Structure 1
Amino acid sequence: MAEAFHDRELSHEDFADAELAGATFERCTLIGTSFRHADLSEAVFSRCRAFSGEEDGQPADFSFANLKEVRFEHCDLSMALFCNASAYDLSLDQCQLQGADFSGCDFRLPVGGAATLASLHMTGCNFSFGDLSDTFLADCTLTGNRMIDVLASNCTLTGADLSGSELTGLTGKGLDLAGADLRGSTFNTLDPRQLNLAGVRMGLSQGLAILDRLGILIDPEADG
């Protein structure tokens, strides 16, 4: 039977390498808690707090954990470490993720041959100053998020849905946004001379802003 933790103070507990598949964590405090290498597949975290608010506070650590089909709902995971976790079909809904580090996370599910299926659902989260470096997120859903100054070096977001997100300062060498849905998003640093924006979907005003960065001037009376 899967374990259940409700209204528990679990700060600085060591769950490294633990078998916690299907576990439920509800309204728990997880400041400095270690889940390194733990099996958390299909676990649910609801309204948990893993951030102390102090500059020298120790973050929760999910590095190298199995996070397949894990759901985080209304949690404060600011500064949490998810580096190199296996996280296919991870779901983050209405969470605080400022400064969280997902670098090297594997959101992929091999489906045979060269085909690869990736799945991440991040909706309504504050992920500002976070890290998505070295991740494959093709066709994933990251809608309605605040993603200011997110580092995304060598991040593949081809075909991803980023609609309604605030992407100001989203940067990274090797960032690929080909075919992504940027409609309703805000951005000011996407450089079309350095990024692959082929097939990107965006609104008229967004497209005009991109053309302006290329030095192209649109004269609406030219066709008249």
Structure 2
Amino acid sequence: MTATDSITDTAPDRVAIDQLVRTGQPVTLTQCDLQGLDLSGLDMVGWHFQRCNLAGTAFERAVLEDARFTSCRAGAARFDGAEMSDITIDGGDFSNAGFRRAVLSSARIAGCKMTGANLTDARTDGIGLQDVLLVLAVLPKLSLRKAVLRQVNFSEADLSQCDFRDAVFEGCSLRDANLTDSRFEGADLRGADLGGVRLTDAGRFRGAVISKQQAADLLGQMGLRVL
């Protein structure tokens, strides 16, 4: 078996996946149904999951470094404690998936729906996010320091104690997010929707850059106009 092995249109069980893992080579799974399988603890470095059904699949404590997930359906999948450094998630639906304590260092996530995902205590240094829907996601204490965030929707997400220092927001939304004790020093928030932020809460953005319109919206709450 070689690194170019590809399995297509099958529904392998845990035994079959174990056999693939034992080869020690990356495998590409295309349009495979892994729904609900327990794949926890497996070493799947460099594997490629392409248009697979991963709904409810357990990858807890799995080793998934440099793995790729392309257009997968992974609602409620569990990646808690998984090693996921340098992974790529391109498209797909990971709504309500669990990434608690997962290592997502230098991960690249784009074009993905992650509504309600839980990243509590995940390591995210160097992560890249573009066109990601994180509405209602649970992201406390997440580090996105110096990140460039493009088209990321954090509406109503739990962002308490997050580190956004020196981050750049481009076409993002923080509308009605929980920003308690989050840090924004040096962040560029001119490309963020700050809807729902009250002037009394504006101290959270001390040291950040905002636009004249954003400042006017905040001051408008006091009946003042910025001309």
Same fold (TM over 0.5): yes
What secondary structure does 1:196 align onto? helix
Runs of 4+ with deviation above 6 angstroms: none
> What is the SS of the residue equivalent to 1:125?
strand
Question: Where does 1:139-158 land on structure 2 (aligned, <5 Å)?
Answer: 139-158=146-165
Evaluate the alpha carbon distance shift between residue 157 and residue 216 of structure 1 in structure 2; reply closer, same or farther with a 3 A threshold. Answer: farther
Q: How many percent identity over aligned positions?
A: 23
Displacement, 1:163?
2.0
TM-score (norm 1): 0.84
Aligned-partner SS, 2:213: helix
The CA deviation at 1:190 is: 2.8
Of 135-144 and 59-68, the range deviating more from structure 2: 135-144
Q: 84, 88, 106: which is aligned to 2:105?
A: 88
Q: Residue 55 of structure 1 corresponds to which residue in structure 2? A: none
1:64 to 57, 81, 95: 81
In the TM superposition, residue 192 of structure 1 has moved relative to its aligned partner by 5.3
1:71-97 deviations in Å (ceiling 9; x for gaps): 100110000001111111111100011
Matches within 5 A, 1:104-143: 104-107=121-124, 118-143=125-150
> Which one is further off, 82-91 or 134-143?
134-143
C-alpha change, 1:152 and 1:219, in structure 2 (3 Å) is closer
- The structure in which a higher percent of residues are strand is 2
Retained in 1: the 8 A contact 2:161–2:180?
A: yes
CA distance in 1, matches of 2:142, 2:226: 40
Are 1:25 and 2:25 matched, yes or no? no
Confirm whether residue 34 of structure 1 aligns to residue 42 of structure 2. no
Superimposed CA distance per residue, residues 4-29 of structure 1 (whole angstroms, 9 cap, x where no aligned partner): 11110001111111101111000000
Describe the SS at the equivalent of 2:108: strand
Count of residues in correspondence between the two structures: 202
Partner of 1:167: 174
Distance in structure 2 (CA, Å) of the matches to 1:40 and 1:175:
30
Counterpart contact for 2:216–2:226, Cα < 8 Å = no
Q: Which protein is richer in helix relative to its size?
A: 2
Gaps of 5+ in 2: 1-24
Q: CA deviation at 1:218?
A: 4.0
Deviation at 1:202, TM superposition (A): 2.5
Q: Which amino acid aligns with 2:43?
A: E
Match of 1:44 in 2: 68
1:17–1:219 Cα change, 3 Å: closer
Indicate the residue corresponding to 2:185 in structure 1.
Answer: 178
Moved more, 25-34 or 163-172: 163-172
Deviates more, 1:196-205 or 1:122-131: 196-205
Q: Superposition RMSD on alpha carbons, in Å? A: 1.7
Residue identity in the other structure for 1:72: I
Distance between the aligned counterparts of 1:33 and 1:5, measured in 2? 14
How far residue 216 of structure 1 moved from its aligned partner, in angstroms, is: 7.3
TM-score, structure 2 normalization: 0.83
Once the 2 structures are TM-superposed, how far is the Cα of residue 137 of structure 1 from its aligned partner?
1.6
Distance in 2, matches of 1:92 and 1:18, equals 22
Residues 104 and 123 of structure 2 are in contact (CA less than 8 Å); yes or no, is this contact kept in structure 1?
Answer: yes
Deviation at 1:191, TM superposition (A): 4.2
Q: Partner letter of residue 147 of structure 2?
A: C
Partner residue, 2:95: 78
How far apart, in 2, do the equivalents of 1:83 and 1:150 lie?
15
Shift of 1:198: 2.6
Counterpart-to-counterpart distance in 2, 1:35 and 1:204: 46
